[in-house]
Amino acid sequence: MKDIRPDYYRKDGRDLFDHFAEMFPSQWFRGFMVGNVIKYVVRYTAKNGTQDLVKARTYVDRLIQFEEGKHAK
C-alpha cells in the first residue's frame, strides 16, 4: 500500500500530522482526526477499497499517539 504521508508533505523532518497537532487546539485536532477516520471507513466500499481502510488506520494510529501524549501540548 502507498503511504498516505508522502515526503513532499514533510517539513523539517515532520509531517502534516505533527504540524496539525501543534497548530490546532486539542479538541479541533481530535475532531479532524475522527472526521477523517469516519470519511475513509464510510466510503471504502464505493471508492478506494482497502486503500481507504489503510488511510483510516493511519488516522486512528496517529490519534492514539496524540492521546498517549506523544503530540500533546
Q: What is the mean pLDDT of each run of 10 residues along the chain (73 residues)?
A: 59 81 93 97 96 95 90 52
CA atoms of 42 and 39, how far apart (whole Å): 5
pLDDT of residue 16: 84
pLDDT of residue 1: 47
Task: Tell me how far the alpha carbon of residue 49 is from its chain's centroid.
Answer: 18
Q: Under a CB-based contact definition with an 8 Å cutoff, are residues 49 and 72 in contact?
A: no
Q: What pTM, to 2 d.p., does this model score?
A: 0.79
CA atoms of 33 and 24, how far apart (whole Å): 11
CA atoms of 73 and 29, how far apart (whole Å): 11
